[in-house]
Amino acid sequence: MTLHIKSRHVTVTGPRGELSRAFKHLNLAFELVGGNKDKGTNPKKLKVDLWFGNRKQLATIRTVCSHIENLITGVTKGFLYKMRFVYAHFPINVSLTDKIVEVRNFLGEKRVRRVELLPGVEYVRTADVKDQIELKGNDLTAVSLTAARIQQCTAVKRKYVAYPSFPPSLTPSPPSSLLFSLCVC
């Protein structure tokens, strides 16, 4: 795994490929330290500096380090998101056609919901587990954004969703005159 930095543009190369990210909008100083150029050893650590920053600017240092760690994890291990189809009556059909995920028969609707896969994201229908898909890729941002778009395209709109208003332990006891309750969904 190699890490290359030039003018706040970080590039990480590993066995699974190459990822890069620009941090030009932040006024930070990046430096590779720990190696010896005379002996030909590569630097082992990345140093991120911020001079005279306020509280909000100091918080960006940890964020940038986390982004770089995610780049390193992506090129060495990769990321995998598993998604399950959960339904009660109408079976949800999900298929892939030309890098577009199509969700059909959601709540029995005729409308087909389409979500485009971002570059670098691979869609796999799990063979051993029923109603499950896997999204794989090196870039955490692309994989998680694709999973979020698939989830958000199936948001229930203009329908009543029955959520309990109290936790089960705090549910008030019904009056003795009430024999049954009716829930119309």
Over residues 122-145, the pLDDT tens digits come to 999 999 999 899 999 999 999 999
Helix (H, G, I), strand (E, B) or coil at 169: helix
Quote the pLDDT of residue 171.
Answer: 53
C-beta separation of 91 from 103 below 8 A: no
pLDDT tens figures, 141-173: 999 999 999 999 988 888 777 766 666 555 555
Contacts of residue 73, defined as CB under 8 A and 6 or more positions apart, other chains included, come to: 79, 140
Q: Which domains does the chain have, with CATH numbers?
A: 2-76 (3.90.930.12), 79-152 (3.90.930.12)
Distance (Å, whole) CA 24 – CA 9? 7
Contacts of residue 56, defined as CB under 8 A and 6 or more positions apart, other chains included, come to: none
Nearest to 27 by CA among 5, 55, 58: 58
